[in-house]
Each structure stands twice: as C-alpha cells, then as structure tokens.
A and B are shown apart, each in its own frame.
Chain A
C-alpha cells in the first residue's frame, strides 16, 4: 500500500467512522456476570446501571459488558425485578482495560432494598489486560512528593528519567485523551514542550510492553494521559508552594501557584480550566561542592547559581458538550511556555550576556464521541479525534536583561537577538553580522583578571530556533462482537511542518576568515499515516489480543543529496493471557516502528543545550527505527491486600539513529540509521495496597541493554575493497547509554486516623496527618572514556560506569478545614538526606572535575596564549598576584597563578551533580 492509498483509505474510514462506535484510550470497559447467589444460575435481562444510567442488559448467560466507560471511578448497580438491587459504589475503570465485576443477587421476597458492595472489583487478574501499565492518578500526584506527570511516571519500573526499558530518550510517545502526540523534530534531545497541569489529570500510565496497535511513534513506551471532564458541580483547588524563608541552602527561589476549577454550564456543558505556574530563581539546582577559593563569589552562596532562573506556565481548558444519550464533543486546549536563563560558566562574571531559551507548546484537540444504544445487538463506539500541536524552541542571547516581577516570574516573553531573522529563516539577511551582536572578548570582571576562559562584552553569537507543527486526524472504531470479544479498527493521518534556523558567530559576517559558517535553515512538510486493526477475545480464563499496525512516513524533504524517500512498516502484535491457579500469565510479542527525529534530516547543527553542544552530520535519508519485544509476565495476588507482578522481556532494537564521534572535535558526531541493540530485563513489582494506615509499592528492575558495534554507514558486514583487502568491522557488544542494571523504587504512604495523637486543647495536631516517602536507588549508567583530547576512545564504548545514585523524598500533609473550605498544608522535601549524586563525569578524566593536572595544563595553555604583562592601570590587575609589587604582573611566576585560579573556577563540575536537598511548604484550598 502506498502512502497515498493509505491516506485515501483513512479518509473513507473517517467518513464511515462517524456512524460507528469506537473505543479509545480514554475509556475502558466493565464486564462480568450476574448470577443468583443461592442457585448460581445466570440472571437474564438484569439491568446494569453505570452512574445511575442504564448501560446494558445481561444476556441469557447472565454476562454483560459495558464499553466506552470514561476512565475513573464509577458507581455500578444491577437490578432485576425480584432481586435486591446491588450497588458497587467504587468501580475503577482504567484506560484501555476491562474491569471485571461479577455480581451475585439475592432474591427479594418481601420488599425492595439495596445492598452495597464495598469491595472494589479486581482488575489485576483480568486476562484482557495484557499491557504492562503502571499508573498514577491525580490523587497520587497530590499525595506523593512529585510535582509533575513526568516525575510521577519516572517512578515506574524500567524508567530512567524519560528513558524506558533501556531505550534512549525519544523512544516514547504521548497519548493525550486518546490522541497521539510526539515531538517528531528532536524528541531524542528536546522536550515535548507541553506540560499537563496535574490538576486536570484523571490518570497517567506508562505502558512498556506490547502496547495496543492503535498507537505508534514509539519503541519503548507509551505515556497515556487521560484528562478529566468538568464535574457536575463547581469544584476547584488553589495551591501555593514556596521555599521562601528556609535560608540560603534551601531557598532556591521557588514559587508555584496552581488554580483549577471545573463545573457545569447551561445545557449540560462542562468546563474545566487550570493554570499551573512555577518560577525558580535557580531552575536547575545542583549539589556541587562549594568552591575552594575564597575569592570565588560563589563561596558566598554555593547553593544557587545566578542567571539560572526559569518560569513555566501551563494553562489548560476543556469543554465537554454532550449531545444525545451517549455522544459528546470535547475540545481541549493546552498552552505551555517555559523560559529559562542558562547559567554558562563562560559568562559567570558577565551574566547579562549568558544565553537563555524558551520552549512554547500549544495543543488543541477535539473529540467527537459517538456510541450506539446499550441495547444494540452489536454495540459500536466511534471516536473521531483531531488535533493541532505546535512547539517552538528558541535559544540565544536576550536583547534586554530580564526583569523579575515576583520571585522568578517575569510575566514577559523573552526576546532574543536576531529573533526576527530566525523566524523568517532569512539566511540572506543573516549573511552579514546580525544587528545587535558585538564581538565578545575575555571578561574584565573576574577575580582572576587574566584573559582566559571567561567571556564578556557580548554574547557568543548563537541563534537557534526551530518550530514543529502538526495537524493530526485520528479515527477509532470499536465494535463489540460479543460480551467477550471486540474488534477495533482505525487509523490516523498526520501533516507536519518542520522549520529550523541556526546561525553561529552572528557578530561576524558569514565566511569571515573562513571560520564563520553560513546560517542554515530548513522548511519541509512531512506526512505520515497509519492504519490498524486489533481484536480481543476471551474464552473463559484465556484471552487473546491480536493486532497489526501499518505505519508510513514521507519527509517530503529535499536536501543537497536528493529527495529523502518515503518509508513504510508493518507491525504485528500478539498477546495471550490465561488465569491459572489464581495468577494471570501473559505472553506478548510485538513489533514497533517510529520515524526518526526529523532533526537528522535537517542540514543544521543541532545542539541540545549550550552546555553540551554537539554538531552532527550524516546521511539524512533515514528509515524507521524499529524494535521487536517479547515479554512474559505473571500477575498474582499473594494475599488479599498485596499484588505481585513479574515481567521478563527481551527487546531488539534495529535501525536506530545514533551518533558516533566524528573527527577530533569531541563535539562533532556523525549519525546513521544502522545501530543495533538489545535489552533484556526483569521487573518485579510488589504492592501492598493502602490499608490500615499504610501502603507500600516496591519495584525492582534488572536490565541489560547492549548494542553492537557499527557506525553511521557500516553495517555489520564485511567490506571488500576493489582489488584490495576485505575489511571486517569489529564485532563487539557494549552497553547502551541507558543500560541501568539495577533500579529500585519504594513508595510508602501512610495516613493517620482523624482521631490520633495527643489532644492539645481539643486539637489533635497529628490527626489525619498524611505522609509519603519515595526511595530510589539505581546503579550507575555507562559512559565512554576518551583520551585527553577527546579524539580516541579508551576501551570499548560505554565501558565505564557512573557511581550509583539514591534519593529519599518525603511529603507530609495535614488536612485543614476553614468553614466550608477544606484544604491542607504540606511540607515537601526532595533528596531529604542531601545525597550528592554524580550524574555525569568528564569523559577524559572519568571524574566530575578536570583534576589538578588538567587544571594546570589548561592554565598553562591559556597563559601561553596570553603571556602579556598586566599593568596596574589595567582592569585585569589584581594586587594579590603582583608579588614583587612593581605595578606590573608579568612573567610566569606572577601570571600563572592567576591562570590556575581562573581554570579552577571555570572547570568547576557544577552540572555533574544532581539536585541538592529541596524543600517547599505549600498550602491548598479545595472548594
């Protein structure tokens, strides 16, 4: 099937889909049986009510199934004349899963009555749930020491930050309310640009195994986010958090404000709105050692870096417009903007010239949900979704310094030098020196005086801008074939646009001295599409899920080497599960494809941050990155209150776009689409559900993620040189970048009864107190050693290991009440023990720092470059260095100590260390 025919098929599917029912990842299903308690015979035509509305009737076997139930908790009731009505008040429904609820009715002899079922149904053992989904809810986010969906998802087994099951960054995709979403431009190095305010969340889950054929664009994980609809009464939450007043070491300038409200509007319309704004004067705090030289101004406040402030504002709104009995139209809007000043050691003493960046994201989605009557013989549910996603990234020098209004909030958009030229991708205008830029020079404002390491006078002349936009249409049709079988078909069409611009050394004209490269710009409009079919069957305690997905993409990009070709991929997926001896066994197999980051198709030098800028070149005609995953898992309930899940998996990765060092410049790499890797692992998840004051979740991951040797252009094959020798590329295996062997996460929660602890004049300070703690331990990630110049590897790639890391986070929350308003006061501590975790090291030293020998070598090189004397009248003169007091600092004996002090300052390994102890005190009001 060509891409064109695929698009046509999808268009037809969209037209047909308007009349059909679908299931989507924002909904789940409830199924089970209804029987007579005494006779155990099935009860025919019993009414199943979900949240008070008739949903379906049981069949002759007493079996029922309700599809398209919104994710969340629901009340389910069953009634039948002659029987006591039975109500299950809290029935959880999870995205894409079927909640199994069997009910036994008592015959009603004399008068009608209602019996409430207190025990919630068990979804753990449901064989139809084949996905390894680790979930967090809005309540989890409130009660745990986490502040964002990303932080909560990172608690999942197999997660290393945003790397999942050994995959690199960018091998995951987001599903927001059933609509796929990905930063297809630079997911491997950049952020999504969108942050979901936790208050609008129903649940978020990480799926790491054979995820549904409905979803693509990922190899290692799906992050499925379901937002809630506005409620049937007005409700809201306001919260403020800060670390003000905790003192130098604990005050990092944090202010966070959260506002959320939702409720009904006339006509049954529901509205939801939320704003989550966070400002931090030091947005990237590090637990680096204090400087040893008392002349370093950082000794006065070693805890906070200047020009490192950031603000993040996320605003979301959702409108739900019901029509008919089971139809609804939803519009969801999300805008995120994150602005941050970037502390750059080179501009430590001339902060106004240091770089800054802004990432802004916009998401608009619409969903039309249609469903047939619950009494229909073949229930259908259709979801037609469309969405716009835009992400804009900009980095460079600010045209005017920021002015803080409150804490780290500026309430103004950053503006960058050369911004207009970048947005217009005007490479012609960028040939000359870009207005506003001037030539930087060595700083005069350092304590060390010497012209080395530290820059001043002007910014470094970098302009980086890119924008990614996509329009996505997606249709899902779910057809209930029977109570125990359904089929889903659908697909999506995505139209994207990639625009980029980069200019280096903008204070000089292009070509000056053969050292100023021209500005690079790109503008192309890729298209991608997919179609899928998936079916699930359940036969007693055995279930089979079978699916296939077809993916295609065409970059529609033409570079100097010619047009980049389109690619297609077929990805089958299969899962079988069975309940045996009280445990559910699941075996799954799936093939997954994702288009490569489009940044590799751009003739540009991308760099992820100013701190680790890398320049890449390579063959941009890249195909799909692919993985094949096999998994076997067991789920069981050892006791009534505990659950156990064990997952073993093997994942093979092929066609990865990877970068390898290129030339002698350690910041330059060449990329290709040929790397191969494999990941094997075991995950063990044990949970004691919250009961008798406390609950505990433990997850442990043992994982081996390895890659084979290759480079951007040579596959693992022999190369015969015409008339010459045969070259056999080396065949070795080495760890992948995210090969974290051991990972342990423990999440403990406790809640004291309302009447608890000492009574102080009628007040119990400990009553209702809630506490949570998260302990994380992980073994070190691999890294590659190089020689001092960075142009030769020492040993195989990733042969060295960082030290292990551990953190302990805690949160205490005390509910309060103010008249009709409830709320809480909470105290949140991250890295409670202040552990100094090393998160990166230098490749040349294998340590965070350059080392004394390296510092002295760097100082000597700088001295040799500028051995000129420094006279008294110079702004570089420092009296402490003029040891012979003749008014001139001259010669190696006087100048070199200045250079050594400067080098020691410049090479402080600040960002090699993870965050320090962070605290925040918060108050929330719920109304």
Chain B
C-alpha cells in the first residue's frame, strides 16, 4: 500500500508540475496580408469614397492618408497603410467621448514627423451641414492620435493681414515647427462644392499652448509647398513651370528647376537629386495632372508610368525616392453642351496608387 501511495503522489505531482492546462482558443488571427499586386502601377486602395492626402512616414515603411469609412455620420478618418499596400496598420477617427455619432468629424492633410509625431487638420460639423463649424490644426502622436492637441484654430488672421480659412500641404520642419499652405475657401451651393484658393506659405512654431504663426516670405501665390528630408523648403507658384527653393530666414526664393514645355507645375518635392512635380492635365485649374520626375544631376525629365485615363493629385515621393503614392482620379472628357468646347471632368472618387520612380 505504501508503494501505491508513493506512486500516486508522484503521479499527481508530475501532473500538477509538468503538465500545463489546455488553453481555450485564442483570438482570431487573420494572418499576413500583403500587397494585392506587385506590378507597377499598383492600386493600393479599393474603396469607393475618395482617398486623399497621402504622406510618408519618415522611415518610408508606410504612409498616412485620409479616407472615408462609410459611416452614417460621414466622418473622414486617417489610415496608415504599408508602403506597398495591404491591410491598414492603423485607423484614426475623431470620436469625442462626450458626444458620439451626432456630428461629422473630418480629418485630413496628415503629416508625419520625427519621433512619431503627426499633425492633421480636423474639421467638425453637424451631420449633413454645408459648412464646417470647427476647424483646427492638431498635433498628436501615432500611438495616441486622438484627440491630440489643437495648436491652431481656423480661420485666423495672419500677421500680414491675410484671412486664412483653411490650409493644406502640411509638413514638419522639425519636431517644433510645421509649415503649410494657407488657403481661402468658398462654398458655392449650386452645385455644392468647396473651392480652395491658395494664399501663401506659413510657418507654425509650437512653443506654447497654441502655436505661433509666421508668414514665409516670398511665397505669395504659392500652389504647393514641401520640405525635403534635408529640411529645405520647395514651392511652386500659380501659373509657373519653375520649382523654387525658399530660404525663410533670408526671405529669398531661388529657382531650382524649370520644366520647360510642360506648362504650370505643382506639388514639387525633392528627395536627394530627385525632383517630383505634377504637370500637364488640369494642374492650373484643378491641381491634377501627370507625375513627372526630374533628375537634378542630369536635368533629364520623364513622366512616371500611370493609368492612361487618369490624372493624379498630391503625389508623394517616399524618403528613398523609389516609389510615389498619389491620388488617381478617373478623367472624363466631354462637351459641356452640344458642339461646345470639350471639358475635363475629374472624378470625385479617387484611389491611391503606387507609381515607380525613376
């Protein structure tokens, strides 16, 4: 009987000590989900509503952009998508804890900065309202993106007296300052639309509770602004085919490259010796066209291969200057009336596509 007891105790001790309990089923894991296509141009987004304002994260692994999640409150959110597409890494919607779904909250114009910083424009209105009731520039981090810190309320009166209604082309100059293109906005009701008119480039320093705005000299009439990885500011001007660099401290504007024969250019960006612009199409009127890249060392210019029946907006060259993510809009050319002049209609719905840089 003693042997029985010893065996029993040993057995049970072994069971208790050596055996782990079986575990319940774990959380569902959808597994890896990479790019849908690998041949350029690559369609990155497939949803019906427009996807807008792509901006690369500093390490180039992903980009952040604005999308519409198809919600009853018509919110517009931000999403982070891997560089070559796949499943969202993160989505950011503004959901005030004390309200709920009684308002439309639209996030747009994201900019990713150093140290996980992000900045974006946040607008709010009652559902189905024509005009936004609030608009503010928000600074946050990717890990805690909402509600963030509102650093600039809009509209505001700039130091030079300009009334700034809204902004676009938001970029980080450093962890303490942002740069953006100040704009006016009008809202015609027939048909209902939002018409944006660029004013000039402004800088926001984040020293205090709210930021301090200053005007970047020599940028009046700018249609786009960007900051290179080296920290230099580049602008394009209304009706101009020249890309300029701007030295804010000196208040000077220096031509960098002229896209001769392409007409007005916009959305200029510089990474290393790669210069990206939007040209052709309806750049002058609707800021949409084809994507061109110039090699600043050889001065050669080439159009990046895209869709033949589409124009692009807001192209963004990644930090390694190998790929470009851009809004692709379907284009329809038709006569406004019988036997009338042809007009170019830019589709409102846009997806993001990836183009291969040179």
Residues of A within 8 A of B (CB): 240, 242-245, 247-248, 251, 253, 255, 281-282, 297-298, 300-301, 303-308, 349-351, 407, 432-433, 437-439, 445-447, 507-509, 512-513, 763, 765, 767, 814-819, 823, 825, 868-869, 871-875, 877-878, 886-888, 921-923
Tell me, rounded to whole Å, the shortest Cβ–Cβ distance linking A833 to chain B.
Answer: 22
B269 CB–A CB distance under 8 Å: no
* Nearest CB of chain B from residue A876's CB, rounded to whole Å: 9
Indicate if the CB atoms of B20 and A244 lie closer than 8 Å. Answer: yes
User: Cα distance A164–B81 when bound, in Å?
Assistant: 62
Q: Give the nearest-CB partner of B48 in chain A.
A: A869
Task: Judge if B59 is at the interface, Cβ distance under 8 Å.
Answer: no
List chain A residues, Cβ under 8 A from B22.
Answer: 247-248, 251, 253, 301, 303-304
Please provide the 9 A-B residue pairs with the shortest distance between their CB atoms, ordered closest to farther: A816-B5, A306-B24, A871-B47, A871-B46, A868-B70, A887-B46, A825-B8, A251-B22, A245-B19
* Chain A contacts for B3, CB-based, 8 A: 763
B46, A509: Cβ atoms closer than 8 Å: no
Q: Give the size of the chain B interface in residues (CB under 8 angstroms).
A: 44
Residues of B within 8 A of A253 (CB): 21-23
A873 to B33, CA, bound (A): 9
Given A513-B100, A818-B2; A281-B86 close (CB under 8 Å): no
What are the residues of chain A within 8 A of B86 when measuring CB–CB? Answer: 873
Do residues A281 and B21 form an inter-chain contact, with CB atoms below 8 A?
yes
Q: Is there contact, CB below 8 Å, between B46 and A873?
A: yes
In the complex the two chains form, is A875's CB within 8 Å of B48's CB?
Answer: no
Instruction: State how many angstroms separate the Cβ of B249 from the closest Cβ of chain A.
Output: 41
- Chain A proximity mask over B9-37: 1 for CB below 8 Å, otherwise 0: 10010011001111111111010010010
Contact check, B88 vs A823: say whether CB atoms are below 8 A apart. no
User: Which segment of B91-99, B202-210, B219-227 sits at the interface?
Assistant: B91-99
Known contacts being A306-B24, A873-B45, is A244 close to B5, with CB within 8 Å? no
Of the A-B pairs whose beta carbons lie under 8 Å apart in the complex, a sample of 9, sorted by A's number, is: A251-B22, A297-B27, A300-B25, A306-B24, A433-B97, A439-B95, A445-B30, A507-B97, A873-B47
Is the C-beta of B143 less than 8 angstroms from some C-beta in chain A? no
B19 touches A244 (CB 8 A): yes
- CB pair A445–B28 under 8 Å, yes or no, is yes
Residues from chain B with Cβ under 8 Å of A433 in the complex: 97-98
Q: How far is the CA of A688 from the CA of B91 in the complex (A)?
A: 71
Instruction: List the B side residues contacting A888 at CB < 8 Å.
Output: 46-48
Q: Chain B residues with Cβ under 8 A from A439's Cβ?
A: 95, 97, 100
- Cβ of B102 < 8 Å from any Cβ of A? yes
Q: B129 contacts the other chain (Cβ, under 8 Å)?
A: no
Contacting pair A765 B47 (CB below 8 A): no
A871→B350 CA distance, assembly (Å): 13
Is B4 in contact with chain A by the CB < 8 A criterion? yes
Q: Is B241 an interface residue (CB 8 A)?
A: no
A763 to B102, CA, bound (A): 79
Known contacts A253-B21, A407-B21, A439-B100; A874/B47 CB under 8 A: yes
Q: Which single residue of chain A is at the shortest CB-CB distance from B71?
A: A868
* Besides the known contacts A305-B24, A308-B24, 9 further A-B residue pairs in the complex with CB atoms under 8 A apart: A281-B23, A297-B28, A307-B24, A765-B4, A817-B5, A871-B47, A872-B45, A887-B46, A921-B12
Chain A residues near B16 (CB-CB < 8 A):
240, 242, 244, 255
Task: Give the chain A neighbours of B4 by CB distance below 8 A.
Answer: 763, 765, 814, 816, 825
B250 at the interface (CB under 8 A from A): no
Q: Bound complex: CA of A875 vs CA of B90, how far in Å?
A: 9
Q: Which of B15, B48, B85, B87 contacts A921 (CB 8 A)?
A: B15
A513 to B101: give the CA distance in the assembly, Å: 9
Contacts of A245 in B (CB 8 A): 15, 19
Quick one: which of A303, A307, A513 contacts B102, CB cutoff 8 A? Answer: A513
Q: Select which of B8, B21, B45, B99 is within 8 A of A871 by beta carbon.
A: B45
Q: Name the prevailing secondary structure of the A interface residues.
A: loop
Closest B residue to A454 by beta carbon equals B28
Q: Is the CB of B1 within 8 A of A817?
A: yes
Complex formed: what's the CA distance from A701 to B99 in Å? 58
Chain A residues lying within 8 Å of B33, measured Cβ to Cβ, are 877
Chain A residue contacts of B25, Cβ below 8 A: 297-298, 300-301, 304, 306
Which residues of chain A come closer than 8 Å to B85, judged between CB atoms?
A: 872-873
Q: What residue of chain A has the Cβ atom nearest to residue B6's Cβ?
A: A818
Contact, CB under 8 Å: A297 / B12: no
Give the one of A509, A512, A874 with max B CB within 10 A: A874
Contacts of A304 in B (CB 8 A): 22-25
Does B178 have its Cβ within 8 Å of any Cβ on chain A? Answer: no
Bound form: Cα–Cα A113–B272 in Å: 116
- Name which of B79, B81, B85, B99 has the most chain A CB atoms within 10 A of its CB: B99
A404: min CB distance to chain B, Å: 9
* Residue B43 lies at the interface, judged by CB distance under 8 Å to chain A: yes
Given A240-B12, A873-B85, A873-B86, the answer on whether A351 and B27 have CB atoms closer than 8 Å is yes
Among A245, A512, A819: residue with most chain B CB under 10 A: A245
- Which residues of B lie under 8 Å from residue A817 when comparing CB positions? 1-2, 5
Distance from B147 Cβ to chain A, minimum over Cβ atoms (Å): 12
Does B66 lie at the interface of the complex (its beta carbon under 8 Å from any beta carbon of A)? no
B26 and A816 contact, CB distance less than 8 A: no
Residues of B with C-beta under 8 A to A767: 1
Known: A432-B98, A763-B3. A874 touches B87 (CB 8 A): yes
Contact A818 B36 (CB under 8 A): no
Task: Tell which of B15, B23, B26, B46 touches A242, judged by Cβ atoms closer than 8 Å.
Answer: B15
B100 in complex: contacting residue of A298, A512, A921, CB < 8 Å = A512
- Distance in angstroms from B110 CB to nearest chain A CB is 16
CB-defined contacts of A306 to chain B, threshold 8 Å: 24-26
Given contacts A439-B95, A439-B97, contact A872 B46 (CB under 8 A): yes
Contacts of B46 in A (CB 8 A): 871-873, 886-888
CB-based contact B79/A873 at 8 Å: yes
- With both beta carbons as reference points, the residue of chain B lying nearest to A407 in the complex is identified as B21
- With an 8 A cutoff between CB atoms, is B44 at the interface? yes
CB contact list, B56-108 vs A, under 8 A: 70, 79, 81, 85-88, 91, 95, 97-100, 102
Give the chain B neighbours of A248 by CB distance below 8 A.
22
Chain A residues closer than 8 Å to B23, beta-carbon distance: 253, 281, 301, 304
- By beta carbon, the residue of chain B nearest A248 is B22
Enumerate chain B residues within 8 angstroms of A815, measured Cβ to Cβ.
1
Please indicate the chain B residues that have their CB under 8 angstroms from the CB of A432 in the complex.
Answer: 98
Q: Is the CB of A301 within 8 A of B12?
A: no
- Which one of B5, B21, B45, B88 contacts A875 once the chains associate, using CB atoms below 8 Å? B88
Asked, given contacts A433-B98, A438-B97, A875-B88, whether A349 binds B15 with beta carbons under 8 Å apart, the answer is no
How far, in angstroms, from A50 to B25 measured CA to CA in the complex? Answer: 60
Partner of B1, one of A446, A816, A875: A816
Q: From residue B349, how far is it (CB to closest CB) to chain A in Å?
A: 12
| Chain B residue contacts of A407, Cβ below 8 A | 21
* A445 to B23 Cα, complex, angstroms: 20
Which residue of the partner chain B has the closest CB to A516? B100
Nearest CB in chain A to that of B5: its residue: A816
Min Cβ gap A860→B in Å is 19
With contacts A247-B22, A871-B47 known, is A508 near B100, CB below 8 A?
A: yes
Chain B residues whose CB sits within 8 angstroms of the CB of A247 once the complex forms: 22
Residue of A508, A512, A877 ringed by the most chain B CB atoms within 10 A: A877
Residues of B within 8 A of A308 (CB): 24
- Chain A residue numbers with a CB within 8 Å of B45 are 871-873
Q: A822 to chain B: closest CB distance in Å?
A: 9
B202-243 near A? 1/0 per residue, CB < 8 Å: 000000000000000000000000000000000000000000
- Chain A residues lying within 8 Å of B6, measured Cβ to Cβ, are 818
| Docked complex: B240-280 residues within 8 A CB-CB of A | none
Q: How far is the CA of A888 from the CA of B81 in the complex (A)?
A: 16
Bound Cα distance from A301 to B70, whole angstroms? 36
Residues of A close to B87: CB separation below 8 A: 873-875, 877
Question: Are A869 and B8 closer than 8 Å at their CB atoms?
Answer: no
Residues of B within 8 A of A886 (CB): 46
Q: How far is the CA of A344 from the CA of B288 in the complex (A)?
A: 51
Chain A residue with Cβ nearest B97:
A433
B99 near A297: Cβ-Cβ < 8 Å = no
